[in-house]
Amino acid sequence: MSASSRPVPEGPAPGAGTGAAVIGLDLGGTKIAAALFAADGTVLARHTRPSPAGDGASAVLDALAGAAAAVDPGRLATALGIAAAGVVDPRSGLVTSATDTIRGWAGTALGSGLADRTGYPVACDNDVRATAGPELAAPTGPGTDHAPSEPAPSRETAPAGHEPPGARRTAPGSRRTGGGSLVFVAVGTGVGGAIAVDGRMLHGAAGIAGHLGHLPSPAAAGLPCTCGATGHLEVIASGPGIAAHYERLTGAPVDRLETVAVRAARGDEHAVRAITVGAAATGRALGGLANALGPDRVVVGGGVPRIGPLYWDALTAAFVPELMPPLRGLRPEPPRFGTDAAVRGAAALTTTLPLHRPGAGR
């Protein structure tokens, strides 16, 4: 548990226009992060605790409520936003689909359940869409490579001495604030995404919009996906997907993606192939989406891109040839926002999505 001793303003204000403090919660499979934001976006307090994912949905909701109480003991906030794993429908407040990372999470009444436990009105969304929110709110175009009060992407995201080719370049003629179009992909243990068109984040039926990992990919042909289908991008491009590809190439088990990355850095040709095939599959999929959606920016986040130049070069080399002429200046880029992106985006949901109020479901 921790609270910030010195408020640090950064990025777009989650409660802009409301004049009130708001809470942002980020729920992952292993950790819950919470932050209390002032109306101007200043972080007033922070809190983290383990996520009791194996104990079931009710225990997770209780832990989320506990995190909210810990970060706002004085009840300064007037609303709460939650960014959660799984397919989340912000209108119904339900988790409409989920893996077994959080036991029994599918079907959970996230909005009303958390509102009843905390007493706050609650807005909820998928964690990747919430993380993409600050990216969408940031200005785009020449001279706006980074959000006004954010540092450049960390070396953890864009390795020292390397910048993805053409990174932070927007589509020709783009210069907008909060009204642009965005394709955001998070490549980690899975492949998630978010899509915004003309300033509006797309949610789709049952909140499923943006699940880019379930696009068909020729590189994954015949491989079973966790969703029950075969040949989806996630199977070849996620961290576990890259590690599994390495195992298929070598016949030797590997414990995790980091091991594959280390071996690639030492010149293991099978490790290099597993990484570059996954990166290229992501690049091709994003290039096709760019033609379909005409985004101002394409942002690639998550843990897998932190492999470094090997990954970024392969992704960009596959992305660029897919582009139609009007988009030829567009390049994938790392996120502008750091570790607070998810909680900041979650807090901002309270100004853009339906609020589920305490007792409304009874």
pLDDT digits (tens, 9 = 90+) for 28-85: 888 999 999 999 999 999 999 999 999 999 999 999 999 999 999 999 999 999 999 8
Distance CA 215, CA 140 (A): 27
Higher pLDDT, 19 or 74: 74
Rounded to whole angstroms, the Cα distance separating 249 from 269 reads: 10
Element (H, E) at 299: strand 297-301
pLDDT at res. 129: 94
Structure tokens at 81: 């936003």
* Phi, psi for 2 (deg, rounded to 5): -155, 150
| 98 pLDDT higher than 50 | yes
Torsion angle, alpha carbons of 259, 98, 186, 189, to 10: 0
* Helices 127-137 & 341-348 angle (0-180, nearest 10): 80
As a whole number of angstroms, the distance between CA 186 and CA 300 comes to 6
pLDDT averaged over the chain? 87
Rounded CA-CA distance 237/111 in Å is: 32
Which residues have C-beta within 8 Å of that of residue 285, sequence separation ≥ 6?
212, 215, 217, 233
Of 77-81, 97-101, 139-143, 347-351, the one with minimum mean pLDDT is: 139-143
Across 291-308, average pLDDT: 95
pLDDT value of residue 362: 56
Higher-confidence residue: 97 or 155? 97
Q: How confident is the model over 235-264, as pLDDT tens digits?
A: 999 999 999 999 999 999 999 999 999 999
The interaxial angle of helices 257-265 and 239-250, nearest 10 deg, is: 60
Residue 343, pLDDT > 90, answer: yes
pLDDT of 101 reads 84
State the CB neighbour count (10 A cutoff) for residue 206: 14
Greatest distance between any 2 Cα atoms in the chain:
61
Mark 38-76 as b/e (b = at least 16 C-beta within 10 Å). Answer: bbebebbbbbbeebbbeeebebbbbbbbbbbbbbbeeeb
Are 193 and 184 in contact by the 8 Å Cβ rule? The answer is yes
Pick from 85-89, 181-185, 315-319: least confident = 85-89
Among the listed residues 160, 164, 307, the one whose alpha carbon sits nearest the alpha carbon of residue 246: 307
Phi/psi of residue 125, nearest 5 degrees: -160, 170
9 pLDDT higher than 50: no
Q: Which two tokens stand for residue 309?
A: 């130049």
